[in-house]
């Protein structure tokens, strides 16, 4: 179906009827929905078993909002969360956003340097963390001086603020008169490198998030069984909440639809298996490495999914072979849905149709969303049978822009509002999208982003390195892994191991050079000096 409203050729419209997008702040939308499910369980700490009902979650979020207000954190302030998945993540996330603050979520496996960078770039004024991560946060605060408050979960040292104390607030300072403009005000600021360069703050407005939650709840695409007196979905909160997939489709969706989400701080195979059984998980969100683990690990039996009726997967290509092997092991009566999207689109733009999986496709446009595929050489939009090109998206879920980075925003969202995804796609005659390649620099390790430019900047600081390029190579377990091509300075006797160790000390584990370090005489570059990563990759794969 091609658009009649967008006056441009070859613009594809969602096959689903549009949904209404309420003009509400994100947290009001969630809290209002939660009212219906009051006494149902909402959050369970998968490690301790401590649980909270929907009423309790709403109340604790407001207590936290009140406590933050007393600390003089107000509308427009940036609150950073550096926590693994746990109920407290949800309390601070929603508590902060509900008072009009903007929450930036930071990967809790980051090094102090990486944390400091995001704190500084976002201009955060408070940071929420736990006792284990506190030393890293303290180190980060030596570099970035803008933090006014450190809030610590798991009982803080005497001179720091304790999350447990803040959660005892009487809610009386919760600001009743805060004016949030859903279409303009930024609710969350996750980081993404987009199509090129270093990670940037992605400004997602209240409306972006409300829109995406409404879009994916469309009855023709949602595989969630509605909450009733006799049924409630149980989700496993295993994908990190700091990443957009864990944050919106997993955590926020569960809360606004009356589900129960069991939080796990890291992927530990044994804990994953035991929690699936212990908590009777009905709906499982995954990334391809988890599908690979469940399919190929000998400790995972077919009965792992005996209670689970639905498995969702996204954030990286899952591959047809793996999907078929997965069905072979677990039976094809389990419903499976692949989703596609990006941080910049809140994140979902495509989902495979309910009960009609086209293996290998990342699905169809969700409601209220438009797409086109453009020729990467001419920029012209292409018809469905004209081959592959860059996928572009328009819709209410597309970000406001990159934070304090107009150039990057202009290079990503064009003047007509099209978000250029940096992914190469083709479409079949039934409007199913297939992601076939990536135009952008991004490397996806276990579904998480690694920006080659960031690793290159780091490696270039090594005194023995004259030039460097980083690319992603396919990997059975992680999906992709980073590999560095290094030109050593003349006369240097640096080893590949020394460079790998140098990187390992400075970055989060998923950014390690697991794909190896290769020495070379020169890095292939275009006339304008851009690294020709495609050439390096083609040579590596040949």
Question: Of 67 and 244, which CB lies nearer to ligand 4UW in the complex structure?
Answer: 244
The single residue among 13, 61, 167, 316 that binds ligand 4UW, judged by CB under 6 A, is 316
Longest dimension (CA), the chain: 74
**189 CB-near residues (< 8 Å, 6+ apart):** 78, 102, 103, 104, 105, 122, 201, 202, 203, 204, 403
- Decide if residue 314 touches ligand 4UW (CB under 6 A): yes
Question: Of 87 and 240, which CB lies nearer to ligand 4UW in the complex structure?
Answer: 240
Question: Of 166 and 481, which CB lies nearer to ligand 4UW in the complex structure?
Answer: 481
CB of 422 to ligand 4UW, least distance (A): 6
d(CA 9, CA 372): 9
d(CA 150, CA 138): 9
d(CA 360, CA 152): 44
3-class state of residue 462 by DSSP: coil
Q: H or E segment at 12?
A: strand 12-13
CB of 182 to ligand 4UW, least distance (A): 21
**14 CB-near residues (< 8 Å, 6+ apart):** 364, 365, 366, 367, 368, 369, 370
- Decide if residue 27 touches ligand 4UW (CB under 6 A): no
Segment 89 to 108, residues that bind ligand 4UW, using CB under 6 A: none
Task: Count Cα neighbours of 424 within 13 Å in the Cβ-side half-sphere.
Answer: 13
Among the listed ranges 12-20, 289-297, 326-334, 347-355, the one in contact with ligand 4UW (CB under 6 A) is 347-355
The single residue among 435, 455, 471, 478 that binds ligand 4UW, judged by CB under 6 A, is 435
Query: Closest-CB residue for ligand 4UW?
Result: 339
CB of 456 to ligand 4UW, least distance (A): 19
Find where tokens 């009140």 sit.
66
User: By rule CB under 6 A, what count of residues binds ligand 4UW?
Assistant: 26
- Decide if residue 449 touches ligand 4UW (CB under 6 A): yes
- Decide if residue 438 touches ligand 4UW (CB under 6 A): yes
Q: Which of 209, 265, 262, 213 is nearest to 233 (CA)?
A: 262
Among the listed ranges 136-144, 172-180, 307-315, 478-486, the one in contact with ligand 4UW (CB under 6 A) is 307-315
Question: Of 151 and 234, which CB lies nearer to ligand 4UW in the complex structure?
Answer: 234
CB of 175 to ligand 4UW, least distance (A): 32
Among the listed ranges 144-152, 229-237, 253-261, 315-323, the one in contact with ligand 4UW (CB under 6 A) is 315-323
CB of 530 to ligand 4UW, least distance (A): 19
- Decide if residue 423 touches ligand 4UW (CB under 6 A): yes
CB of 286 to ligand 4UW, least distance (A): 8
The single residue among 189, 348, 392, 450 that binds ligand 4UW, judged by CB under 6 A, is 348
Segment 461 to 520, residues that bind ligand 4UW, using CB under 6 A: none
SS3 for 33-78 is: HHHCCCCCEEEEECCCCCEEEHHHHHHHHHHHHHHHHHCCCCCCCE
Task: Measure CA of the first residue to CA of the last residue in the chain; give whole Å.
Answer: 40
List beta partners, residue 435: 425
Structure tokens at 478: 């992680």
- Decide if residue 339 touches ligand 4UW (CB under 6 A): yes
Mark 180-219 with x for binding to ligand 4UW (rule: CB under 6 A) and - for no binding: ------------x---------------------------
Q: Which of 412, 391, 21 is nearest to 201 (CA)?
A: 412
- Decide if residue 369 touches ligand 4UW (CB under 6 A): no
CB of 194 to ligand 4UW, least distance (A): 8
The single residue among 31, 91, 245, 330 that binds ligand 4UW, judged by CB under 6 A, is 245
- Decide if residue 433 touches ligand 4UW (CB under 6 A): no
3-class state of residue 518 by DSSP: strand
The single residue among 98, 129, 282, 343 that binds ligand 4UW, judged by CB under 6 A, is 343
- Decide if residue 221 touches ligand 4UW (CB under 6 A): no
Q: H or E segment at 390?
A: strand 389-394
Q: Which of 167, 160, 186 is nearest to 104 (CA)?
A: 186
Question: Of 251 and 315, which CB lies nearer to ligand 4UW in the complex structure?
Answer: 315
d(CA 206, CA 181): 8
Return the number of other C-beta atoms located less than 10 Å from residue 218's C-beta. Answer: 18
d(CA 337, CA 385): 25
Angle, helices 452-460 vs 496-506, to 10°: value is 110
User: What residue ranges bind ligand 4UW (CB under 6 A)?
Assistant: 192, 244-245, 249, 312, 314-317, 338-343, 347-348, 351, 362, 421, 423, 435, 438, 444, 447, 449
């Amino acid at each position: 179906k091609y658009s009649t409203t967008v006056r441009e050729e070859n613009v594809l419209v969602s096959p689903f009827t549009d949904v209404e997008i309420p003009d509400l702040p994100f947290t009001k939308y969630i809290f209002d929905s939660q009212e219906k499910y009051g006494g149902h369980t909402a959050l369970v700490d998968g490690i301790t078993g401590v649980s909270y009902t929907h009423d309790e979650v709403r109340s604790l979020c407001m207590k936290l909002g009140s406590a933050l207000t007393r600390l003089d954190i107000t509308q427009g302030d940036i609150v950073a969360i550096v926590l693994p998945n746990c109920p407290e993540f949800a309390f601070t996330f929603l508590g902060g956003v509900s008072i009009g603050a903007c929450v930036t979520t930071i990967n809790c496996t980051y090094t102090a340097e990486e944390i400091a960078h995001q704190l500084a770039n976002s201009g955060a004024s408070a940071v929420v963390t736990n006792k284990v991560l506190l030393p890293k946060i303290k180190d980060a605060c030596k570099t970035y001086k803008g933090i006014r408050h450190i809030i610590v979960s798991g009982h803080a040292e005497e001179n720091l603020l304790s999350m447990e104390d803040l959660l005892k607030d009487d809610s009386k300072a919760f600001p009743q008169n805060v004016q949030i403009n859903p279409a303009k005000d930024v609710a969350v600021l996750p980081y993404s490198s987009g199509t090129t360069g270093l990670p940037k703050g992605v400004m997602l407005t209240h409306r972006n998030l409300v829109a995406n939650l409404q879009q994916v709840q469309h009855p023709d695409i949602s595989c969630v069984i509605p909450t009733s007196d006799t049924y409630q979905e149980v989700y496993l909160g295993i994908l990190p909440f700091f990443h957009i997939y864990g944050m919106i489709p997993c955590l926020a969706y569960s809360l606004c639809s009356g589900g129960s989400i069991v939080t796990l701080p890291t992927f530990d195979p044994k804990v994953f298996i035991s929690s699936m059984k212990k908590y009777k998980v009905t709906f499982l969100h995954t990334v391809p490495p988890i599908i690979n683990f469940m399919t190929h690990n000998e400790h995972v039996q077919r009965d792992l999914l005996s209670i689970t009726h639905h498995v969702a997967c996204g954030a990286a290509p899952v591959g047809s072979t793996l999907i078929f092997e997965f069905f072979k092991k677990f039976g094809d009566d389990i419903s499976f849905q692949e989703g596609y999207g990006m941080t910049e689109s809140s994140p979902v733009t495509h989902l495979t149709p309910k009960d009609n999986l086209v293996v290998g496709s990342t699905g169809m446009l969700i409601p209220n969303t438009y797409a086109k595929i453009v020729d990467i050489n001419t920029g012209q939009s292409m018809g469905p049978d004209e081959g592959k090109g860059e996928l572009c998206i328009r819709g209410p879920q597309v970000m406001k822009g990159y934070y304090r980075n107009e150039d990057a925003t202009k290079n990503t969202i064009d003047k007509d509002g099209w978000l250029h995804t940096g992914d190469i796609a083709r479409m079949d005659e039934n409007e199913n999208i297939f992601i076939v390649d990536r135009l952008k620099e991004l490397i996806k390790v276990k579904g998480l982003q690694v920006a080659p430019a960031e690793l290159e900047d780091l490696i270039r600081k090594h005194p023995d390195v004259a030039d460097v390029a980083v690319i992603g190579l396919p990997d059975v377990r992680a999906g992709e892994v980073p590999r560095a091509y290094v030109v050593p300075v003349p006369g240097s006797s640096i080893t590949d191991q020394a460079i790998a160790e140098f990187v390992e000390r400075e970055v989060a584990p998923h950014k390690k050079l697991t794909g190896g370090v290769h020495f070379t005489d020169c890095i292939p570059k275009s006339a304008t000096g851009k690294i020709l990563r495609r050439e390096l990759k083609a040579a590596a794969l040949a």
